Amino acid sequence: MIIHDDCEHYFDAIKARCPDVEICSYAPSSLRQDIENFAPQVVFSWKTKSIPLSAQRTIVTLPSVEWLHIAGAGFEHLLPLPDHLTVTNSSGVCSAFMAETVLAAILMWNFGFPRYIELQRERSWQKFQWKSVSEKTVLIIGVGSIGSKVAQYTKAVGMRVIGVKNRPTAVPAVDEMVAPADLHDVLAQADYVCVHVPLTQHTRSLLGARELARMKSNAILINTARGGVVDEQALATALVNHQIGGAYLDVFADEPLAQDSELWSLPNLIISPHVSDSVADWQTRFVDFFIDNLNRWQASETLVNIVDPELGY
């Protein structure tokens, strides 16, 4: 079963590679009737605002469902999930592309592009000195599939890399790895703070007023993970008061970002509409990953990317 508001592409791709699988794609117009008539074993779920979350939760908790695959990484919108359910996600499919976005944000801020764009609009010819990123430190909060790629890319341009990980084991390209309990100590060392953790009860508002106060006055915060990980009101206050140098946000607590949000007007904040994983063929990459896992499921093999709903990853 596919939960999406535009299922045709995914339906055809799965049917072409798995012709013996009975597929039912679910769109808003037929959702209720389809639930009553079909008892799925596997659910391929895309987060979509057109299908109410209550309906999506109902589907994935049907007694017939044995395996839920998330087209993406986060599944906090579907919690709580049944204990018996096997859950996988698509973590890692777009990690390299998301890491490119983070590196682009670092280079953009480091060279001062936001300031030069404003000066261009004013037709003002001013020059400013800048330091190489090779002289700076990046703090990566969450060194999973995406965070590891960010470490690789930032190390490639000469940055010192500090990582925060639940199990602080060595990771290539990370110079220093610490546990979450040491976050406050390393925040003060970072010129760039990049967030790459799932949204869970432990990470909600992980970066609030207290944490922002620990950052350097010229440090940049980059969040491409989940909006709820950063306290947006605390961040807005910190940006207005120039407590930190700036921020790049691709994700927000509520999306799309409300038209009347004060975040839109902050000159030291760059906003993008949750597009850090929107590489041109991302839909095909996600469905291909699912189909590979579906073939494993049919062969009674171990699935890739099994996650723990309690941990959130």
Q: For residue 159, which of 133, 120, 131 has the smallest C-alpha distance?
A: 133
Angle (deg, nearest 10), helices 95-111 and 113-121: 60
Q: What is the CA radius of gyration of the chain?
A: 21
Bin 205: left if φ > 0, else alpha if -120 < ψ < 50, else beta: left
How many residues are there in the chain? 313
Under 8 Å between Cβ of 219 and 194: no
* Maximum Cα interatomic distance, the chain, rounded to a whole number of Å: 67
Could you tell me the two tokens for 226? 């989940």
d(CA 151, CA 7): 35
> Residue 123 CB: number of other CB atoms within 10 A?
6
Active-site positions read 226, 255, 274
> Cα(156)–Cα(198) distance, rounded to whole angstroms?
25
Measured at the CA of 171, the angle between CA 169 and CA 173, to 5 degrees, comes to 145
Who contacts 118 (Cβ-Cβ below 8 Å, separation ≥6)?
A: 267
Total Cβ atoms within 10 A of residue 295: 13
Secondary structure letter of residue 173 according to DSSP: T
CA–CA distance, 191 with 177 (Å, rounded to integer): 16
Contact present, 296 and 22 (Cβ < 8 Å): no
